[in-house]
Homo-oligomer: A and B are copies of this chain.
Amino acid sequence: MGIPTQKKHEMMRSMLLARQFEERLSGLYRQPGKIHGMLILATGQEAVGAGVCAALTEADVILGNHRSHHHLLARGADPNALMAEIFGKRTGCNKGKSGTLHLAVPEVNALCTTTVVGGGLPIAVGLGFAQHYDKRDAVTVCFFGDGACAEGSFHESLNLAALWRLPVIFVCENNRYAAAQSYAEHSPVPSLAVRADGYGMVGESVDGNDALAVFAATERARARALRGEGPSLIECLTYRWGGHGESDHQTYQPADEIAAWKRKCPVERLAQALIAAGEVSEDDLARMRDAVAARVEAAVRFAEDSPYPAPEEALDDVWAE
């Protein structure tokens, strides 16, 4: 398949990290007073963040949504700063202003994140425009869900990016649900990739639980963008193992549907592929898991040991000087 082993290891690590990071969060959320507000996880979707981000270079920009822990971790964001922000601590990457929903990590070119569904796409057009304007050899990746494809902003953004041939990769993470609405209840078409035709851009549907397929599709899209061929739409078919958020009863998701998708676990899938290809051993994997576990523990400890911001700090950071 031509993907360097080190890239595969990178994906493996980031998927393990995302999985453990979020499983730990899920447990912490059940302990009173630790994590406040909503907690929205991507468990089961890790291959999307890992596959896409492994295909990017430092200069590329990513823009996520309300479900972006896995994107940011795959991009290399510091787990301590993320965990502390999710806890609402002063040491969080956004000083507690954001919490989990709109984590901004400029250090890894995630300049902002929005929890307004569809809100990321027009901004990604602007980010891609700037890369084009500055003649940078870089692309912008915008992550959004299947539900976001019903927003007007989806349309305006793909239309403008296509018209101006901007280096934007629109990554639709189709996890079959928009909150409690199943895909069939909220979308009139079997696949969202077909919408690319309406803008004259390339659209692909890929197995979103196959990190290597996601990686390959992203590489293709990135190459097209850098050749000046404009934006692409990649639909990653995946599934939301948990509820929309951690306080979601999830009764509208059929148990057998969940079970079937859990059998398609993207983390296990990559692990098996690498073992089959002899690119990792069980021992390597065990070591990776342990290293990740330690990293997550350290992040939790860092977050728990960090202070909350002082109330008046709320007044900071509205204005740039």
Residues of A within 8 A of B (CB): 150-156, 159-160, 162-163, 186-190, 194-195, 197-201
Contact = CB atoms under 8 A, between A and B. Distances in A.
A153 B156 CA distance: 9
A151 B162 contact: no
A249 to B, nearest CB: 25
Contacts of A155: 151-152, 154-156
A106 B198 CA distance: 35
B200 A197 contact: no
Q: Which 9 A-B residue pairings sit nearest by Cβ, starting from the closest?
A: A152-B152, A155-B155, A162-B188, A195-B198, A163-B188, A198-B198, A188-B200, A189-B200, A152-B156
A297 to B, nearest CB: 45
Contact of A198 (B152, B153, B160, B189): B189
A163 B162 CA distance: 25
A224 B188 CA distance: 17
Contacts of A154: 152, 155
Nearest to A230: B188
B200 A198 contact: no
A159 B147 CA distance: 12
Contacts of A195: 198
Contacts of A186: 163
14 contacts: A150-B156, A152-B152, A152-B153, A152-B154, A152-B156, A155-B155, A163-B187, A163-B188, A188-B199, A188-B200, A189-B198, A190-B200, A197-B197, A198-B198
Contacts of A198: 189, 194-195, 197-198
